[in-house]
């Protein structure tokens, strides 16, 4: 073995230590980076050339160290679990947050919600039944009617607004999905090129994994890694990303659903199913909870309108007007007090006979609508129905919050496990740096000594 | 299990957040004084609290109606009481006239006084209470009695009807708040006119004696109507008293369900604050040092 070989061995030691230091430095710099997996160098001893195995002792010594690979430490199984669990968590969070908004909107139990307004309205008619001749009492009853109608209008508009906001959310989330899918496709291409040339594009793969995490959280996508290093992403069984191509999604108004957005594949116009994730949660809230609440409030308003109008039309005003409706409109959006009555309180029906100003029976009949079984197929009063609606909302919200909390804990646990495998520990990296530093110093000594030996050989032997 | 730096910081962050959330809920309970601030805090409790709210508002309304009705019945009774006095005085005068020891001047005076009493009775029959005529049935905006003959009425017409005014007071209870004028006032006024005519007529002594009977009949009618009103008022008073008790019960029930137990909340709040501060202290100790601090 020649001294130059030892020199070379020393140099490989230097380069290996350098690589180790660079890797440790890279890990330390990215200790807080989202989605970063720690990297580790694979060192391999360089074996002696085959011809060196000549059977002579001292000949089969290796030629130093080679950094064969820089691997990222990551558990793909945990990644898959995390994405699945997080998708559900995002779904529950989206739904829970929408339900909490719904609760705040209705503001029950309280003194200003629909329940209190209904009570005030019927009480005004009870007052009226005791003093039907009083213009003040008539005006008060009409005004309470207007307050109630306005309350219904407001709740309806707020609900529709919330539905619209959720819809806008869906559209923007779909745009994010498209953007992420495109980026993944681009990364697939870059990673493939890098791998073909033998390199290990760890940071690109980290970026891609981060995007895959995000995408799963948005839409519950499933990703599988292909033998050529690219990742295929499927959404509800359909391919979203394959190799360098991303299939785009788009949203179109759905006439069968009040022109709210429907998600379809842009290329084929076929409907896209989103199994979980934030989009699924938002859609569930938009088409389920909020739509149901709108339906319930409308049913409440429409039954109130018909029952009160029936009782009112059968009665007589002070001016003997009869057959007039009290409310105009058909649902919570359109309910309003008949403008004829607003302009002429004398026409408000209070009596059940003509020409009897002291007769307040029609007003009593209107007040009794409060206890009439006119909801749920004749089994519930207006108050019962509204109370049940609110209680059901409370139960649904409670459930969603519990689901979210439990899922949060699950996600955290799996993320912890991921972090345990892939996370950077600064203590560990500092230790590695120390190791690399000593190795570098030692290798430098080897080079120095080899150099000194060469110098002795060349410059100090056989010199006369 | 291998621990990375992010695991530590993430766990600390999550635990502090959860502590803060707990604190926030307790503070909200304390600030609003309500245990139930959202239906999701207690769905069944919310339904019950809403029910008690409705019941309380109904109860308050019916109490108001009941008190107004009582005022009206009291006014009716007062007018009938006055009518009773009028008739008693007329009866005295009738007895005097039937005695036969009076001079024509005395008889003329009696006639004048009875005429006054008749007019008074008509006025009483037209009592207006808060813009409403009490004795006309449901025709409450027209004076129930109109007399022909000016200051010396010869006859009187009852313009009202006999349709009752019944107020519903909830849970099947109701109260009639009117008293038709043709039951007591009409016979009373007619009896008075009759007496005056008797005393002013040809055979005052005999006619007055006969008129006493008519007045007695009128007095009976007044007392009968007063008895009826009295019974209604009693029933109403009992009902109002029950409603007041019910209101107290409902308020207590509602408070039980919906209000926060302040002592309990404050205790839990202190406890949560301590937990939070301990967590902060522990986090501070754990989060800082790495090996880099110790290497030369």
At B272 the three-state DSSP class reads helix
Q: What CATH number does residue B84 fall under?
A: 1.20.1330.10
CA distance B83 to B218: 10
CA distance B72 to A282: 60
Nearest-by-CA chain B residue for A131: B132
Global pTM? 0.88
User: Which two structure tokens, joined as six digits, stand for B71?
Assistant: 């005022």
CA distance A74 to A338: 70
Region B244-258 average pLDDT = 94
CA-closest candidate to residue A282, choices A391, A408, A171: A171
B214 CA to centre of own chain: 39
CA-closest candidate to residue A224, choices A214, A234, A235, A236: A234
**Among residues 197-236 of chain B, which lie with CB inside 8 Å of chain A?**
none
H or E segment and range at residue A224? strand A222-225
Region B11-19 average pLDDT = 89
User: Which two structure tokens, joined as six digits, stand for A388?
Assistant: 């049940």
- pLDDT reported for residue B296: 65
Pairwise CB contact (< 8 Å): A130 & B36: no
Would you place residue B99 in the very low, low, confident or very high pLDDT band (cuts 50, 70, 90)? confident
Pairwise CB contact (< 8 Å): B53 & A115: yes
B96, B110 in Cβ contact below 8 A? yes
Residues of A in contact with B7 (CB under 8 A): 416, 419-420, 423
The HSE-up count of residue A408 (CA atoms within 13 Å, CB side) is 16
Please report whether residue B71 resides in a domain: yes
- Averages of pLDDT over runs of 10 residues in chain A (464 residues) are 80 93 93 90 86 63 87 92 96 96 92 93 95 94 96 96 96 96 96 87 93 96 91 94 94 93 94 95 95 96 96 95 95 95 95 92 95 93 95 96 95 93 91 93 92 87 72
Pairwise CB contact (< 8 Å): A430 & B291: yes
Q: How far is CA B80 from CA A98, B68, B125, in A?
A: 66, 19, 9
Q: Does A409 lie at the interface with B, CB-CB under 8 angstroms?
A: no
Per DSSP, the residues of B36-55 read -SSGGG-HHHHHHHHHHHHH
- pLDDT reported for residue A147: 97
Q: Does B137 lie at the interface with A, CB-CB under 8 angstroms?
A: yes
- pLDDT reported for residue A262: 94
Instruction: Give the helix, strand, coil percentages of chain A, each rounded to 5.
Output: 65, 10, 25
User: Which two structure tokens, joined as six digits, stand for A141?
Assistant: 């009853």
A285, A99 in Cβ contact below 8 A? yes
Q: What count of other Cβ atoms lies within 10 Å of the Cβ of residue A223?
A: 22
Distance from CA of A249 to the nearest CA of B (A): 34
A337, A312 in Cβ contact below 8 A? no
Pairwise CB contact (< 8 Å): B57 & A116: yes
Pairwise CB contact (< 8 Å): B58 & A355: no
Measure CB to CB from residue A359 to each of B39, B165, B290 and give the nearest one.
Answer: B165
Nearest-by-CA chain A residue for B142: A357
B49, B226 in Cβ contact below 8 A? no
**Among residues 371-400 of chain A, which lie with CB inside 8 Å of chain B?**
383, 386-388, 390-395, 397-398
Please report whether residue B112 resides in a domain: yes
CA distance A92 to A396: 12
Q: Give CA angle at A400 (A395, A404), nearest 5°.
A: 150
- pLDDT reported for residue B97: 87
b/e map A6-19, b = 16+ CB within 10 Å: bbbbbbbbbbbbeb
Q: Does A401 lie at the interface with B, CB-CB under 8 angstroms?
A: yes
Q: Is A234 left (phi over 0), alpha (psi -120 to 50) or beta?
A: beta
Please report whether residue B9 resides in a domain: no
DSSP type of residue A464: -
Measure CB to CB from residue A390 to each of B46, B62, B141 and give the nearest one.
Answer: B46
Pairwise CB contact (< 8 Å): A108 & B46: yes
CA distance B296 to B288: 17
Pairwise CB contact (< 8 Å): A423 & B163: no
Please report whether residue B274 resides in a domain: no
Q: Which residue is listed with tokens 């100003």?
A: A357
The HSE-up count of residue A190 (CA atoms within 13 Å, CB side) is 14
Q: Does B288 lie at the interface with A, CB-CB under 8 angstroms?
A: no
Would you place residue B171 in the very low, low, confident or very high pLDDT band (cuts 50, 70, 90)? confident
Measure CB to CB from residue A412 to each of B14, B57, B292 and give the nearest one.
Answer: B14
Measure CB to CB from residue B6 to each of A32, A134, A359 and give the nearest one.
Answer: A32
Region B260-280 average pLDDT = 93
CA-closest candidate to residue B125, choices B175, B92, B76: B76
CA distance A312 to A365: 8
Please report whether residue B111 resides in a domain: yes
Please report whether residue B137 resides in a domain: yes
Nearest-by-CA chain B residue for A135: B131
DSSP type of residue B151: T
At A268 the three-state DSSP class reads coil
Would you place residue B98 in the very low, low, confident or very high pLDDT band (cuts 50, 70, 90)? confident
Mean predicted lDDT score pLDDT of chain B: 91
Would you place residue B1 in the very low, low, confident or very high pLDDT band (cuts 50, 70, 90)? confident
Please report whether residue B152 resides in a domain: yes
CA distance B113 to B130: 30
User: Which two structure tokens, joined as six digits, stand for B149?
Assistant: 């003959």
B171 Cβ contact partners less than 8 Å away, ≥ 6 residues apart: none
Please report whether residue B259 resides in a domain: no
Give the dihedral sign, CA A95/A96/A102/A108.
Answer: positive
Domain count, chain B: 1
CA distance A285 to A260: 13
Region B221-244 average pLDDT = 96
Residue A441: is it exposed, middle or buried by C-beta count within 10 angstroms (0-12/13-18/19+)? Answer: exposed
CA distance B87 to B189: 9
Pairwise CB contact (< 8 Å): B49 & A387: no
**Whole-angstrom Cα Rg for chain A:** 38
Pairwise CB contact (< 8 Å): B141 & A133: yes
Residues of A in contact with B11 (CB under 8 A): 412, 416
Write a three-state SS string for A289-344: HHHHHHHHHHHHHHHHHHHHHHHHHCCECCCCCECCCCEECCCCCCCEECHHHHHC
Q: Which residue is listed with tokens 């406890």?
A: B271
**Among residues 147-186 of chain B, which lie with CB inside 8 Å of chain A?**
161, 163, 165-168, 177-178
Distance from CA of B145 to the nearest CA of A (A): 16
Start-end of H helices in chain B: 5-32, 43-99, 104-125, 185-200, 204-258, 262-287
At B19 the three-state DSSP class reads helix
CA-closest candidate to residue B165, choices B127, B126, B137: B137
What's the domain range around B159? 48-253
Residues of B in contact with A430 (CB under 8 A): 290-292, 295
Pairwise CB contact (< 8 Å): A358 & B167: no
Pairwise CB contact (< 8 Å): A123 & B68: no
Nearest-by-CA chain A residue for B35: A109
A428 CA to centre of own chain: 35
Pairwise CB contact (< 8 Å): B53 & A109: yes
Measure CB to CB from residue B4 to each of A99, A129, A424 and give the nearest one.
Answer: A424
Residues of B in contact with A398 (CB under 8 A): 40, 43
A33 Cβ contact partners less than 8 Å away, ≥ 6 residues apart: none
Measure CB to CB from residue A103 to each of B3, B5, B38 and give the nearest one.
Answer: B38
Q: How far is CA B98 from CA B84, B111, B208, B209, B210, in A?
A: 21, 13, 5, 5, 9
CA distance A41 to A273: 43
CA distance B126 to B145: 6
């Amino acid at each position: 073995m020649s001294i130059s070989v030892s020199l070379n061995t020393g140099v490989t030691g230097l380069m290996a230590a350098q690589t180790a230091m660079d890797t440790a430095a890279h890990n330390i710099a990215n200790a807080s980076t989202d989605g970063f997996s720690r990297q580790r160098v694979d060192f391999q001893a360089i074996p002696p050339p085959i011809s060196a195995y000549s059977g002579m002792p001292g000949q089969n010594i290796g030629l130093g160290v080679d950094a064969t690979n820089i691997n990222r430490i990551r558990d793909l199984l945990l990644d898959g679990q995390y994405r699945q669990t997080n998708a559900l968590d995002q779904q529950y969070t989206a739904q829970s947050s929408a339900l909490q908004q719904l609760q705040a909107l209705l503001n029950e139990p309280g003194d200003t919600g629909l329940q209190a307004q209904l009570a005030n309205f019927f009480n005004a008619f009870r007052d009226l039944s005791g003093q039907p001749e009083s213009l003040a009492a008539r005006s008060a009853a009409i005004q309470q009617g207007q307050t109630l109608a306005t309350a219904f209008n407001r709740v309806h508009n707020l609900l529709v607004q919330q539905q619209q906001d959720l819809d806008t959310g869906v559209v923007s989330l779909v745009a994010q999905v498209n953007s992420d899918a495109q980026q993944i496709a681009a990364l697939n291409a870059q990673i493939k090129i890098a791998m073909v040339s033998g390199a290990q594009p760890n940071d690109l793969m980290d970026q891609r994994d981060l995007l895959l995490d995000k995408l799963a959280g948005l839409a519950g996508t499933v990703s599988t890694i292909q033998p050529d290093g690219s990742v295929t992403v499927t959404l509800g069984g359909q391919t979203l990303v394959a190799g360098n191509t991303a299939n785009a999604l788009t949203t179109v108004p759905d006439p069968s659903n009040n022109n709210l957005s429907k998600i379809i594949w842009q290329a084929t116009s076929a409907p896209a199913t989103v199994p979980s994730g934030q989009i699924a949660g938002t859609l569930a809230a938009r088409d389920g909870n909020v739509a149901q609440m709108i339906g319930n409030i409308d049913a409440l308003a429409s039954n109130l309108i018909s029952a009160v109008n029936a009782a009112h039309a059968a009665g007589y005003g002070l001016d003997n007007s009869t057959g007039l409706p009290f409310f105009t409109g058909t649902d919570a959006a359109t309910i309003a007090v008949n403008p004829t009555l607003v302009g002429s309180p004398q026409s408000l029906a209070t009596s059940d006979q003509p020409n009897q100003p002291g007769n307040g029976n029609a007003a009593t009949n209107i007040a009794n609508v409060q206890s009439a079984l006119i909801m749920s197929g004749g089994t519930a009063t207006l108050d019962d129905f509204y109370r049940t609606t609110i209680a059901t909302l409370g139960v649904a919200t409670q459930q969603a919050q519990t689901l979210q909390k439990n899922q949060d804990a699950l996600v955290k646990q799996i993320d912890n496990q991921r972090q345990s495998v892939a996370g950077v520990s600064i203590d560990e990296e500092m230790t590695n740096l120390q190791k690399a530093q000593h190795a570098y110093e030692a290798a430098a000594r080897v080079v120095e000594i080899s150099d000194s030996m060469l110098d002795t050989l060349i410059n100090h032997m056989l010199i006369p | 299990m291998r621990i990375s730096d992010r695991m530590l910081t993430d766990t600390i962050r999550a635990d502090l957040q959860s502590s803060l959330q707990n604190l926030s809920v307790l503070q909200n309970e304390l600030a609003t004084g309500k245990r139930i601030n959202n239906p999701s805090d207690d769905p069944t409790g919310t339904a019950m609290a809403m029910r008690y709210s409705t019941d309380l508002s109904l109860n308050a309304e019916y109490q108001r109606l009941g008190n107004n009705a009582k005022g009206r019945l009291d006014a009716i009774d007062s007018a009938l009481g006055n009518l009773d006095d009028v008739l008693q005085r007329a009866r005295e005068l009738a007895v005097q006239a039937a005695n036969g020891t009076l001079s024509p001047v005395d008889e003329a005076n009696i006639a004048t006084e009875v005429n006054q009493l008749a007019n008074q009775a008509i006025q009483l029959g037209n009592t207006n209470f808060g813009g409403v005529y009490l004795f006309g049935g449901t025709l409450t905006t027209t004076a129930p009695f109109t007399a022909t003959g000016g200051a010396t009425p010869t006859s009187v017409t009852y313009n009202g009807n006999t349709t009752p005014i019944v107020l519903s007071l909830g849970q099947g209870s109701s109260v009639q708040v009117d008293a038709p004028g043709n039951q007591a006032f009409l016979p009373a006024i007619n009896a008075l006119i009759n007496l005056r005519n008797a005393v002013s007529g040809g055979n005052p002594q005999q006619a007055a004696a006969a008129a006493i009977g008519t007045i007695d009949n009128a007095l009976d009618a007044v007392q009968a109507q007063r008895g009826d009103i009295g019974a209604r008022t009693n029933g109403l008073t009992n009902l109002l008293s029950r409603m007041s008790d019910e209101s107290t019960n409902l308020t207590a029930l509602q408070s039980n369900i919906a209000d926060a137990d302040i002592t309990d909340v404050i205790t839990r709040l202190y406890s949560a604050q301590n937990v939070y501060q301990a967590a902060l202290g522990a986090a501070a100790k754990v989060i800082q040092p790495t090996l880099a601090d110790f290497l030369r």
